[in-house]
Amino acid sequence: MTTVRTLILWICLTGLTALVSCQPDNQCRKENIVEMQVSFRNKAMSKVSLDSVSIHGVGSDSVLYDNKKSVNQVALPLHKTKEVTQFVFSNGTKADTLTLEHVNTENFISLECGCFVYHTLQNAYSCGTWIDSVAIITTEITTINAAEHIQVFFN
């Protein structure tokens, strides 16, 4: 009977655990930040820090970076419903516009999390007034944080 009683106890405890654990979780617990990582480079391809950097998206009233000192990498949100996103970079004396062409994909995560919009970079270029060139390193922009998606080379 000892074995049977142990079994009963085991089933009972499993039951109690199940009672507690069967509740559906209404909170989204997934990382939901989808941002493009941009690193700043000089012509020698090495990372460079810039001073007094301001960045804002074309079409938005908000500033993403305002007069930031010693910046060598920034994270920028691409537009979720348009396939072209532009950012204006300036440092008080110089300014340039970075244009990104991308495809947006809606990814259903769960009822609680809804859809995350991921991006696939297709093209990146600038006006050439301050930024020399742009290189796409990783095309897929998702919640998995890549070290850098694009490299921006400054004159």
Part in contact with another protein (CB under 8 A); list of ranges 57-65, 67-75, 126-134, 143-151: 57-65
Part in contact with another protein (CB under 8 A); list of ranges 47-55, 77-85, 92-100, 131-139: 77-85
Q: Considering only residues 119-138, where is the footprint of another protein by CB under 8 A?
A: none
Q: How many residues bind another protein (CB under 8 A)?
A: 43
- Which residues touch 10 (CB under 8 Å, ≥6 apart)? none
CB of 17 or CB of 129, closer to another protein: 17
Part in contact with another protein (CB under 8 A); list of ranges 38-46, 90-98, 103-111, 130-138: 103-111
Please say whether the beta carbons of 36 and 100 come within 8 A: yes
User: What span, in angstroms and rounded, lies between the C-alpha atoms of 71 and 61?
Assistant: 22
Least spacing, CB of residue 139 vs another protein, in Å: 16
* List of residues contacting another protein (CB under 8 A): 1, 4-5, 7-8, 11-12, 14-19, 21-24, 26-28, 57, 59-62, 64, 77, 79-81, 105-115, 117-118
